[in-house]
A = this chain, B = another copy of it.
């Protein structure tokens, strides 16, 4: 059971990749489209999974100071260049690669996301709090019709989640105390890091984030303030009709 909704929450800060948007099927779809246009034989599902798998280690290199600050667009492009080599994809122009890299700006929301956010926005200030860079998040919002009040990104702190500076920055920029901000994410590590600096937390399950064959950790955890199965359920749990 979800405990009673924490009082005094003014803003919801959302993780985006996996929590708001279905990156995997979006990247596979864009890959297939590129493959058809350029007559490529590629396992796009495996490429999508590898692309995503490269993202954590790349950010970790930045977090540990092994690389200077590098935004997600550039990290994605570095990983893509390596994967195209690994997958034996040849003959793509620089423009093809740039265009494919920007598939991350065009990810499709989960079916409940726009309706759920629209409902939540009646009561709360809605911000992104993503490792995606500002341009990526703004373009995605425009493309997908995501009704954010504010685009906040790790890029503004020049630190990646789960570094505590990112969560603290969000509360500060919104002029709120940490406990007035609730982090919403499908990933427990993100929520644990947010809770460690005093934010409230809502765990939203996204069972298909990694595709039909991989089962993410979907178990409710009493360490988090709210448990929800999608954004409409989150609105209901937060008392917004």
Q: Is the CB of A142 within 8 A of B125?
A: yes
Chain B residues whose C-beta falls within 8 Å of the C-beta of A138 in the assembled complex: 125, 127, 149-150, 174
Min distance, Cβ A172 to any Cβ of chain B, angstroms: 9
DSSP majority for the A interface?
Answer: helix
Q: Which of A73, A136, A155, A175 has the most CB of B within 10 A?
A: A175
Bound state CA distance, A67 and B133, in angstroms? 31
Contacts of A135-166 to chain B: CB distance below 8 A: 135-136, 138-139, 141-142, 149-151, 155-156
Contact of A175 among B135, B156, B176 (CB under 8 A): B135
Q: Can you spell out 16 A-B residue pairs with CB atoms less than 8 angstroms apart? A: A73-B175, A125-B138, A125-B139, A127-B138, A133-B175, A134-B150, A134-B173, A135-B175, A135-B176, A136-B175, A138-B149, A139-B175, A141-B149, A149-B151, A151-B151, A155-B173
Min distance, Cβ A18 to any Cβ of chain B, angstroms: 22
How many residues of chain A are within 8 Å of chain B by beta carbon?
20
Which residues of B have CB within 8 Å of A176?
135
Cα A175 to Cα B150 in complex, Å, equals: 17
Could you tell me if B125 and A173 are in contact, using CB atoms closer than 8 angstroms? no
